[in-house]
């Protein structure tokens, strides 16, 4: 109930250890060296000495970046080791992030060289697929950013997705208009968001509890209506039109990037624009300053005259709008029909992206793209028959999030008042 309960155990049990030798950078460096050695030795020895082709198209045709698989696996592994060693040696602070990113990216390349050796990986297809899979994650995580930066935990992203997807399918079909579908997806997301807001802000129910229960409610309601309406008469209720793909002439002709970013559906652009808008809003506008104040220290914000509850309602409802659009992706873009539980936990990956991205819009974007890439890669490797089971690749987002919150890779910190209802005293 009080601020006391947000104290983590760390603050209670762990005395401060100011300058240990094994600080964050050194631990990261050591970890990079280890995975680099694994990449060079393990991936390198397993990779067949055949050409790995990364084609610049959607299939095996056209120009390609080629490298000998074994050589590539070893080479990139060695670069990972070098990046880790540089971190271990203690380089200037401004290079640390670059080195970390370099190390992780080269590790992924090493893995890819092993997997793709003797085969090909279509880059355009991989990138646009990653972006498409990341799309709902971006929108869901942005919904989370909006709510949580103002202090309302949003675990109900999954429920908002489901209601959005259902609303889009039902109304889109009845009105035979994809835009009507999109609008009702927003309405669906807002319904769950409104329930979350009222119960969490007005009735002070534990926000995580409400979120989880609302997910189950959305699952039940959409599943129930699906079985009663859509399953018996799919033509009448469950065949929404799909969002068209638009192509921007000129820009779409840029190699690799062009077809990925400029020959796609509206939602991709909307999501990317929203990332910029929300980032700008949070950091540069009055609304953003107030949101952050309410999320970090509501009492102080209230003292200077900010309406804490009003702002929280506004932000959670805006989150519902964004998550509802994310839900529309599932029916209007991905599958073209609603199905029971068709989001299958995407809302929770979005939550993971939010946390992995440290509650910031660009962080969420990066995390969502990373998770989308992992999923796409899992699908691709599953299709070409990789020795690595795709279930393990699919675990990647979840394990990465655990590692992130455990502080093994830098600490992630939620807004201080996140999840604490505000009661005016």
> Minimum distance from CB of 340 to other proteins (Å)?
8
Dist. CA 176–CA 179, nearest whole Å: 9
Whose Cβ is closer to other proteins: residue 254's or residue 416's? Answer: 416
Whose Cβ is closer to other proteins: residue 269's or residue 398's? Answer: 398
Write phi, then psi, for 265 (nearest 5 degrees).
-95, 170
Instruction: Name the site residues for other proteins (rule: CB under 8 A).
Output: 1, 4-13, 153, 155, 195, 199, 203-210, 212-214, 216-217, 219-221, 223-229, 340, 345, 348, 351-352, 355, 389, 391-392, 394-395, 398-399, 401-402, 405-408, 414, 416-421
Whose Cβ is closer to other proteins: residue 210's or residue 274's? Answer: 210
> Minimum distance from CB of 57 to other proteins (Å)?
31
Q: Residue 322: which of 180, 192, 152 has the closest Cα?
A: 192
> Minimum distance from CB of 285 to other proteins (Å)?
25
Whose Cβ is closer to other proteins: residue 91's or residue 405's? Answer: 405
Helix (H) or strand (E) holding 415: none
Contacts of 278 (CB under 8 A, 6+ apart): 142, 145, 146, 361
Both tokens assigned to 325: 């659009």
Both tokens assigned to 103: 């190390």
Dist. CA 211–CA 200, nearest whole Å: 9
Chain CA centroid to CA 205, Å: 27
CA-based end-to-end distance of the chain: 13
Q: What is the DSSP letter of 233?
A: T
Whose Cβ is closer to other proteins: residue 129's or residue 159's? Answer: 159
Dist. CA 379–CA 120, nearest whole Å: 15
Both tokens assigned to 185: 């997806």
> Minimum distance from CB of 250 to other proteins (Å)?
42
Whose Cβ is closer to other proteins: residue 128's or residue 207's? Answer: 207
Chain CA centroid to CA 258, Å: 23
> Minimum distance from CB of 359 to other proteins (Å)?
9
Dist. CA 152–CA 195, nearest whole Å: 13
Whose Cβ is closer to other proteins: residue 5's or residue 425's? Answer: 5
CB 207 within 8 A of CB 171: no
């Amino acid at each position: 109930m009080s601020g006391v309960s947000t104290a983590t155990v760390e603050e209670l049990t762990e005395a401060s250890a100011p300058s240990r030798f094994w600080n964050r950078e050194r631990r990261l460096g050591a970890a990079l060296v280890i995975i680099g050695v694994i990449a060079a030795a393990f991936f390198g020895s397993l990779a067949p000495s055949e050409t790995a082709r990364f084609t610049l198209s959607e299939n095996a045709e056209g120009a390609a970046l080629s490298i000998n698989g074994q050589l590539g696996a070893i080479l990139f592994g060695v670069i990972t080791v070098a990046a880790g060693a540089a971190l271990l040696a203690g380089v200037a602070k401004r290079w640390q992030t670059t080195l970390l990113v370099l190390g992780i990216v080269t590790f992924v390349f090493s893995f890819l060289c092993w997997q793709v050796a003797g085969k090909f990986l279509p880059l355009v297809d991989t990138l646009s697929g990653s972006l498409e899979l990341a799309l709902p994650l971006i929108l869901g995580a942005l919904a989370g950013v909006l709510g949580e930066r103002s202090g309302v935990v949003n675990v109900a992203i999954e429920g908002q997705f489901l209601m959005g997807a259902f609303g889009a399918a039902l109304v889109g079909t009845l009105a035979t208009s994809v835009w009507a579908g999109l609008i009702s997806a927003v309405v669906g997301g807002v319904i769950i968001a409104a329930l979350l807001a009222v119960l969490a802000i007005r009735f002070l129910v534990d926000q995580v509890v409400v979120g989880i229960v609302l997910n189950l409610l959305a699952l039940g309601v959409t599943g129930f209506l699906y079985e009663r309406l859509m399953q018996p008469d799919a033509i009448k209720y469950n065949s929404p039109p799909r969002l068209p793909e638009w192509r921007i002439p000129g820009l779409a002709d840029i190699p690799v990037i062009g077809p990925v970013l400029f020959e796609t559906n509206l939602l991709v652009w909307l999501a990317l624009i929203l990332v910029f808008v929300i980032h700008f809003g949070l950091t540069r506008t009055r609304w953003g300053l107030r949101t952050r104040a309410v999320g970090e220290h509501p009492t102080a914000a209230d003292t200077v005259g900010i309406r804490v509850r009003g702002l929280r309602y506004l932000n959670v409802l805006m989150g519902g709008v964004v998550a509802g659009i994310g839900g529309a992706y599932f029916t209007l873009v991905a599958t073209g029909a609603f199905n029971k539980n068709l989001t299958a936990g995407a809302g929770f990956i979005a939550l993971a992206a939010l946390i992995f991205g440290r509650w910031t819009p660009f962080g969420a974007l990066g995390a969502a793209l990373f998770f989308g890439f992992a999923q796409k890669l899992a699908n691709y490797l599953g299709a070409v028959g990789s020795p690595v089971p795709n279930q393990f690749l699919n675990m990647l987002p979840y394990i990465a999030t655990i590692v992130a919150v455990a502080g093994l890779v830098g600490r992630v910190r939620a807004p201080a008042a996140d999840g604490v209802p505000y009661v005016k005293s």
